[in-house]
Amino acid sequence: MNYQKISTALLLLTSSIIPLHASATDEQMLKQEAMGIVKQFGGTLKPQLVKAMKEGGPVHAIDICATQAPKIAKQLSEKTGWEVKRVSLKMRNTNTATPDVWERGILEEFDVKQASGTKAGKLTASIVQDGKFRFMKAQGAQPVCLTCHGTNIKPKVQEALNKHFPKDLATGYTLGQVRGAFSLSKILEE
């Protein structure tokens, strides 16, 4: 492809996804802001999870995760002004993790991309929709995650999961698969 064709293609692409009130620079900044919040979420939750696993095993860690994860999401939302959550095609917490139409489509896309070789941790997506900037970042299943999300769940762990989440769908994952995604949105100023 020559230069002119490339720039025409880029122009078509960007003009179709970026409305007039959010410039490309704005989008770049919003993306960076969202990435920072995702880092804070993961950087707060994962150490607590790992610590709880070490100290009290997975059953204790389920208690911690079930209380701490929604709390961290809420605190980050209050602190940053973004709506912060985690979503999945196979939800554990159906109250918080059920995806809407855009999120569902992106999660399906993430699965396809991961299956064809892209690392889950590299998958992101964003859109300007209904006056909001929306951002998603996939979370891959790492070894530690499989204790509670894998294919071979210990009976005691299963029992604890059933107690908290009777409709749990979030098991059966293998290493590297997309477990879910952080999903953030921010209302754009007019």
Q: Which residues bind ligand HEC (CB under 6 A)?
A: 46, 49, 58, 61-62, 65-66, 69-70, 86, 88, 91-93, 96-97, 139, 141-142, 144-145, 147-149, 170, 179-180
Judged by beta carbon, residue 22 or residue 157, the one nearer ligand HEC is 157
CA-to-CA dists, residue 139 to 79, 175, 176, 190, angstroms: 22, 11, 9, 32
Judged by beta carbon, residue 84 or residue 170, the one nearer ligand HEC is 170
Judged by beta carbon, residue 22 or residue 170, the one nearer ligand HEC is 170
Please, what is the minimum distance in Å from the beta carbon of residue 102 to ligand HEC?
16
Rg, Å, the chain Cα set: 18
Please, what is the minimum distance in Å from the beta carbon of residue 15 to ligand HEC?
33
Please, what is the minimum distance in Å from the beta carbon of residue 163 to ligand HEC?
10
